[in-house]
Homo-oligomer: A and B are copies of this chain.
Amino acid sequence: MGLKGELLRQRIVAAADQLFYQQGFENTSFNDIASAVEISRGNFYYHFKSKDEILQAVIHNRSEEIKQILDNWDQQHNDPKLGIIHYIDILTTMQENIANSGCPIGGICSELAKIDHAMQDDANQLYTLFIDWLTIKFKQLGHSKNARQLAMHLLARSQGIASVTNSFGDKAFLKYEVKLLKQWLDDITG
């Protein structure tokens, strides 16, 4: 495949990624994606043979993005507590998007679970990337016995915050809850 083809493919994935996030997977049609990229539906099928194939590409794309984010944090420093704070701060950084569209991972996982989609497990893996990474950090902080529980607790807290922030479009609530999360982190790290 040529360079131009690769670039277009990447543009399609990026457009689909954004639309799936904003509108949901099922509610996004080929027409929507094709319009966004300004190509015809026919051309579309040259790059992806089915809608599931796009979903797969989108999930893979998000997975790579997450890995890169975590790598970047690790390269900036090796302070586990600071790493966890970086994680919490995503809520603040993404507050506008969260208020409008919720959590990009939670959204796709919930939807795929409801429609009982085959790619459900792949979507859950996006969660697992964060959980595994956070688990390591909590272990480094001395919580070797319940590190994973702490990681999942933090994930669930974030998820709930994103969900409620999205339903009520209430960014003040998000800010307050971020403060609580940092207090919680201080409490368990001393």
A residues sitting closer than 8 Å to B (CB atoms) are 22-24, 26-27, 101-102, 106-107, 109-111, 113-115, 124, 127, 149, 152-153, 155-161, 163-164, 166-168, 173, 176-177, 180
Pick the 4 closest A-B CB pairs, nearest first: A160-B160, A156-B160, A24-B114, A159-B160
A163 touches B160 (CB 8 A): yes
Interface of A is mostly: helix
Q: For the complex formed by this chain, how many copies does it contain in all?
A: 2
What residues of B have a CB within 8 angstroms of the CB of A153 in the complex? 177, 180
A167 touches B110 (CB 8 A): yes
Cα distance A149–B102 in the bound complex, in angstroms: 20
Task: Report the minimum CB–CB distance from A28 to chain B (whole Å).
Answer: 10
